[in-house]
């Protein structure tokens, strides 16, 4: 028999979490599938569950005075995809998750806490150096999404904590790229995804970032490799490209279909860099 709590507010949820370590169930799109038994049989959970779907304190999107975007942990992919204030990479990734019904149910907090290497939202969040606010009865702590996800299905979440919200500061960029290669059109979890962005001014690359999803045990991003391009002239891209692509390939560690994933990543990054180097119109590179 399952043990299940339905807290009515965040404080009650945190008390239950501290006392019982019950696992939060947000949208349930990962948990319910894992616990599935069959037609007419209630799912079976190994640990106590706490259904947090109804907690309003964890819902919604807001923008703070300094431009920081704050997304409540229970915000669904559909809500993120529909909100024009959400930064391009996050919004696009959310809009391409699963089919409509999945996007109406799946939450951003669940996607992060699930820490699947194939999860779609950590990739753009890590690109933008997003942080999490983790709440417990002792208060709140702030942590980078990149530090929170420690490996495949592994996170730094304490057993008395709940993800409260996701915080993203705006990052200046004028070339944006997102591409996901899925298995089929709807309900496709990433086989591979890539985000990239560049801020180019007066022929100089002021910032360059990229992040690769589903190409290792967690999202792959490395500032040292990005720095190979930062501060360089756009006109130097052709001579820097091969070295950069080789270095980027070095940080990937795909388990399945490694050649395919490495080659596809290389092709996408190469395409993005060629566009910048050709002086493509500023904006989204598609």
Partner 1 sequence: MLDKKITFTLNGKKVEFIGDPLRRLIDTLREDFGLTGVKEGCGEGECGACSVIKDGKLVTSCIIPMGAVYGADIWTIEGIRDTELGSTIVEAFADGGAVQCGFCIPGMVLASYVLLKEKSDPSEEEIRQAISGNICRCTGYDLIVKSIRLADERRRGV
212 binds ligand FAD (CB under 6 A): no
**Sheet of 175-181, strand order:** 204-213, 192-201, 175-181, 283-284
24 binds ligand FAD (CB under 6 A): yes
Q: Which does 135 bind (CB under 5 to 8 A by kind): ligand FAD, partner 1, none?
A: none
Mark residues 243-262: x for contact with partner 1 by CB under 8 A, - for none: --------------------
Comparison of 130 and 198: residue with beta carbon closer to ligand FAD:
130
Comparison of 69 and 106: residue with beta carbon closer to ligand FAD:
106
Among residue numbers 77 through 106, which ones bind ligand FAD (CB under 6 A)? 97-98, 102, 105-106
Rounded least distance, CB 28 to partner 1, Å: 6
58 binds partner 1 (CB under 8 A): no
Comparison of 76 and 264: residue with beta carbon closer to ligand FAD:
76
Q: Which of 5, 14, 29, 130 binds ligand FAD (CB under 6 A)?
A: 29
124 binds ligand FAD (CB under 6 A): no
Q: State the CB neighbour count (10 A cutoff) for residue 129.
A: 16
Rounded least distance, CB 16 to ligand FAD, Å: 13
Rounded least distance, CB 108 to partner 1, Å: 16
110 binds partner 1 (CB under 8 A): no
Residues in contact with partner 1, total (CB under 8 A)?
A: 35
> Are 22 and 5 a contacting pair, CB within 8 Å?
yes
Q: Which residues make up the interface to partner 1 (CB under 8 A)? A: 1-4, 6, 25, 27-29, 32-33, 35-36, 38-43, 45, 49, 51, 53-54, 78, 98-102, 104-105, 185-187
Which residues of the chain form contacts with ligand FAD (CB under 6 A)?
Answer: 23-31, 33, 73, 97-98, 102, 105-107, 109-111, 113-114, 119-120, 157, 162-163, 187-189
């Amino acid at each position: 028999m399952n043990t299940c709590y339905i807290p009515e507010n965040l404080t009650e949820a945190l008390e239950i979490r501290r006392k019982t370590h019950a696992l939060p169930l947000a949208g349930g799109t990962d948990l319910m599938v894992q616990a599935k038994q069959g037609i007419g049989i209630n799912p079976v959970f190994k640990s106590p569950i706490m259904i947090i779907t109804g907690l309003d304190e964890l819902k919604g999107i807001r923008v703070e005075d300094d431009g920081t975007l704050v997304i409540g942990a229970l915000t669904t992919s559909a809500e993120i995809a529909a909100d024009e204030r959400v930064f391009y990479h996050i919004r696009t990734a959310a809009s391409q998750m699963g089919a409509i019904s999945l996007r109406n149910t799946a939450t951003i907090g669940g996607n992060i806490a699930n820490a699947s290497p194939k999860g779609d939202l950590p990739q753009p969040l890590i690109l933008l150096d997003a942080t999490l606010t983790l709440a417990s009865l002792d208060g709140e702590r702030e942590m980078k999404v990149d530090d929170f996800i420690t490996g495949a299905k592994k996170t730094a979440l304490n057993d008395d904590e709940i993800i409260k919200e996701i915080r993203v500061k705006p990052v200046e960029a004028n070339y944006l790229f997102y591409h996901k290669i899925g298995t089929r059109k709807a309900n496709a979890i990433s086989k591979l995804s890539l985000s990239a962005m560049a801020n180019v001014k007066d022929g100089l690359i002021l910032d360059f970032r990229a992040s690769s999803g589903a190409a290792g045990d967690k999202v792959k991003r490395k500032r040292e490799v990005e720095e190979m391009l930062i501060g360089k002239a756009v006109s130097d891209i052709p001579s820097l490209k091969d070295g950069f692509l080789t270095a980027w390939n070095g940080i990937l560690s795909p388990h399945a279909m490694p050649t395919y994933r490495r080659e596809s990543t290389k092709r996408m990054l190469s395409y993005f860099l060629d566009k910048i180097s050709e002086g493509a119109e500023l904006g989204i590179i598609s």
